[in-house]
Amino acid sequence: MDDIIAACMTYEGALSEPEDFPKSEEPVWILGKKYSTQTELEPLRNDVQSRIWLTYRRNFAQISDTTFTSDRGWGCMLRCGQMVLAEALLRRHLGRDWIWTPAESSDTYLRIMSMFEDHKCATFSLHIISQLGVDEGKPIGEWYGPNTVAQVMRKLTPFDEWNNFSVNVAMDNVVIMDEIRCSCQIEGERIWRPLLLFIPLRLGLSEMNPIYFSGLKNCFKMPQSLGLIGGKPNHASYFIGFMGDELVYLDPHTTQEAGSIAKKLTEEEVELDKSYHISCAQRMPFEHLDPSLALCFFCGSEKEFDDLCNRMRQELIDAEKTPLFELVPTRPDYMKDDSSFEGASGINVEFEDHQLDSDDDEEFEVLQ
């Protein structure tokens, strides 16, 4: 782990002073918010801790007809997908400025958390996500890439009537504005369905091309940003910001006990809730990021979507010699007969994830 600047977790107790954010002139950007490590270190850490941290779990009910009672060693990208969904739920119901505390027990928060419990009845559980992944050609227990996770999330959200998300996966590096807008508008009603947008990208062959670093940084600065999912070979992480030339991320490679926080009425439930909030993030150099990743954005209103498109045009396309992706008002002619393309329509897509090779994922894991 020599390429990772070590994180300290509350339960490790190895360091008296966290090394997550050293004091620096460089600002830290976390999901659209800017912090100074010299004057805003505590608010910064509170913001990071308020993100829902979903990790490997063990001793849950077996998944479908398999023998899996833990996702250790294979579920990291699924957990990253869950973290994106969790962040979208927080953004929709509690707002970007919401801060978690150990005493948090609002009905809205508890309902959000219940959706990620590890059993087949939870809306966004590993059990259901894994089963939907089978339809995308990924057997239960196999490692997922970022595109496959995005496709599974698209299939999963129609079962969630509470949030009524419109999930769009912009394929072929093209974001088609009118199709996304159409998918978010309910016919005959002036109601906007909250948008969860995934943009799967391949920014290099085997290594990240440095020409894209500035574009990725600009993504994290946008208020609509939900970060990105990607990582290293067979070692997926959820990236929530950056500091200088280093990414800030949440690492799912910690195995913890499965369970339910329910109403947080018992000491055990309160302690379990704490396991979903890490006290310090980790940092990793941009150049160590695998080139296969997916950008994630949330727009709770049409006004926010219009603002996102303007920001993308100005900060990611017009300002960059090599843009991360294309932003077009309507589907280009060359894509109209492309049956493998999927935008807002929900047509099945044949898109192979970048295969990441690794001898052993467990070397990255922290066992509880």
Catalytic site positions: 76, 251, 253
Residue-by-residue DSSP string for 4-44: SB----TTT---SS--SS---SS-EEETTEEE-TTT-HHHH
Distance separating alpha carbons of residues 21 and 37, to the nearest angstrom = 7
Distance separating alpha carbons of residues 172 and 229, to the nearest angstrom = 17
Which amino acid does the sequence have at 311? R
Residue-by-residue DSSP string for 244-311: TTEEEEE---EEEE----TTS-SHHHHHHHHTTS-SS-EEEEGGGS-SEEEEEEEESSHHHHHHHHHH
User: Would residue 183 be called left, alpha or beta, if left means φ above 0 and alpha means ψ between -120 and 50 degrees?
Assistant: alpha
Distance separating alpha carbons of residues 31 and 147, to the nearest angstrom = 21
SS3 227: strand
Q: Where are the alpha helices (DSSP H) in 136-234?
A: 146-156, 177-184, 213-221
Give pairs for 309-315: CB < 8 Å, separation 24+.
309/177, 311/222, 311/224, 312/175, 315/218, 315/221, 315/222
Distance separating alpha carbons of residues 31 and 368, to the nearest angstrom = 28
What are the C-alpha distances in Å from 82 to residues 86, 291, 364? 6, 21, 20
- What are the backbone angles phi and psi of residue 124, rounded to the nearest 5°? -110, 35
